[in-house]
Structure 1
Amino acid sequence: MEIQYYKEPSRFLKREMEFKVFGHSGLPCLAFACEGGRFYDWEDHGMVAALAPLIDAGKIQLFCADSVDAESWLGSGEGRARSEKQERWFNYLAGELIPRVLALNGGTHNRVALLGCSLGACHALNLYLRRPELVCGAICLSGSYSAAPWFGPYHDDLTLRNSPLEYLPLLHTEGLPSTRLAPLFLCCGRGPYEDDFLADTRAMAQALTDRRMPAFVDYWGEDVSHDWPWWAKQAVYFLPQLLQQLTSKAKPSA
């Protein structure tokens, strides 16, 4: 498997940001780890190994992003500074990392797929909803989709922008761009440590239904815990489905 490591400056964050690339070609997939996650977590916790057949076959090229969760969602400082950090990171993703991903992918794709676990699922869904022109699909596993548990009583315009459960009901559905119909998969287990994430997944599924935004929602069994081994199984299960949907959409109609 071809593996590359990058550490590059960000004008939005005014620091160097790291990311890692697995594979040589295929659908560019941008991956986010769980809360406080780092760019190496997907590799360290077996996600890359689980997806190796797709990566080695050139079906996908996996890009693992770094986070600033420790300073934003998990930070202990003043609320506005934390929300501003999160928004700058969002702008880094949309304005810097995704264009870089597409360039490194070889220019054969003009949008990326998004994968995320736990808080990373929120990051993925947030990009899917706010910048649909950049995204061809998303797989969100055991997601936490509200900023409230992380920011407590603090709330401002930027926490709202990064809280899909809060802002989705406020969106006007008239004239939504067709890119919002990109495939979206939500999944959560019903086992240990999944209670809060299961509630958020169900709430998000209802919010999407209310806005007539299609999504495939799947609830796995009571043995399925909030942990990497299950997320690996879910990623292996859903990624081929996403690839199939994208392939079907790309074929000219008869």
Structure 2
Amino acid sequence: MQKEIHSQWSSHLEKDIEIAVYGRYGYAILLFPAFTDEELECEKFGLLESISPGIKKGKFKVFAIPGVNFESWLNDKKSPQDKSYRQFQYNNFIIEEMVPFIFGECGGPVPIITCGASLGAYHAANTYFRRPDIFYGMIAMSGTYNIDHLAHGYFDDNCYFNSPVHYLPNLTDSYWLSFLANKKHCYILSGSGENEFPENSTHISGILKSKGIPHELDIWGPEWDHNWETWKAMLPKYLDEKF
């Protein structure tokens, strides 16, 4: 499996970053870390190995990016306002820096699928729902989609526009709804075992259903916990069967 590490300066994050790229061709998978902010996290825990057959065949190319969770929502030393603003910067980093980078690496515009587990699922879903004009699909595993879970009572406009369970029910703009209504690769997955909260997934699924937004909800059984073994089973299954 071909792997490259790209180092560059991020003007939006105001720091040097590294992006891990796996593969040569195919759909672009924008992969968010689950627990840390490390772009190599998913590789270290075997998630990349679980999908390596598709990467080697040229079915998809993975772009594993760093997160800012410990510079924002998980940083108890920062004010709520600063946490919220860091998320704003991260959104801009994805749209204005990562998307052009992916297109450049792929030789032009390609379908981009956002993907992640746990906190990565939140970022994958939020990124997709905010900009369905750019992203082709989404795979969110074991996520929470309510920013209250991370903001601990603080709620400004930026929190609202980064909380899918808040902004999606109020989405009435036909322009944005048309993009979401015409997509067919929105997958929301969860186990039902230890530390899993499948109700988070059923909640957002209900919102999407009420809006007529196509998606697939898949709740796995109690033997599937909130861990890498679950996600290493889920992700290759969906990449193999749906793309």
Same fold (TM over 0.5): yes
Query: What is the distance in 2 between the residues matched to 1:220 and 1:75?
Result: 32
SS of structure 2 residue aligned to 1:134: coil
Query: What is the distance in 2 between the residues matched to 1:70 and 1:207?
Result: 29
TM-score, scaled to structure 1? 0.91
Query: What is the distance in 2 between the residues matched to 1:173 and 1:81?
Result: 29
1:35: how far off?
3.3
**Partner deviation per Cα, 1:186-215 (whole Å, 9 max, x = no partner):** 0000111103xx121111000101111010
TM-score, scaled to structure 2? 0.95
What is the identity, as a one-letter code, of the residue corresponding to 2:215? A
Query: What is the distance in 2 between the residues matched to 1:106 and 1:35?
Result: 31
Q: Is the 8 A contact 2:132 2:176 kept in 1?
A: no
Q: Which residue of 1 aligns with 2:7?
A: 7
SS of structure 1 residue aligned to 2:74: coil
SS of structure 1 residue aligned to 2:179: helix
SS of structure 2 residue aligned to 1:16: strand
Q: Which residue of 2 aligns with 1:232?
A: 232
Q: Which residue of 2 aligns with 1:184?
A: 186
Query: What is the distance in 2 between the residues matched to 1:62 and 1:41?
Result: 13
The equivalences for 1:1-254 within 5 A come to 1-76=1-76, 77-107=78-108, 109-172=109-172, 174-176=174-176, 178-180=178-180, 181-182=182-183, 183-195=185-197, 198-243=198-243
Unaligned runs of 5+ in 1: 244-254
1:175: how far off?
4.0
Query: What is the distance in 2 between the residues matched to 1:145 and 1:156?
Result: 16
**Partner deviation per Cα, 1:85-110 (whole Å, 9 max, x = no partner):** 01101110011011101211222x43
What is the identity, as a one-letter code, of the residue corresponding to 2:82? A
Q: Is the 8 A contact 1:8 1:17 kept in 2?
A: yes
Query: What is the distance in 2 between the residues matched to 1:146 and 1:18?
Result: 28
Q: Is the 8 A contact 1:126 1:163 kept in 2?
A: yes
Aligned residues: 240
SS of structure 1 residue aligned to 2:212: coil
Query: What is the distance in 2 between the residues matched to 1:219 and 1:110?
Result: 30
**Partner deviation per Cα, 1:158-191 (whole Å, 9 max, x = no partner):** 1111111111111115344543232100000011
Q: Is the 8 A contact 1:136 1:179 kept in 2?
A: no
What is the identity, as a one-letter code, of the residue corresponding to 2:212? R
What's the % identity of the aligned pairs? Answer: 28
1:67: how far off?
0.4
What is the identity, as a one-letter code, of the residue corresponding to 1:50? S
Q: Is the 8 A contact 1:145 1:165 kept in 2?
A: yes
Query: What is the distance in 2 between the residues matched to 1:201 and 1:135?
Result: 20
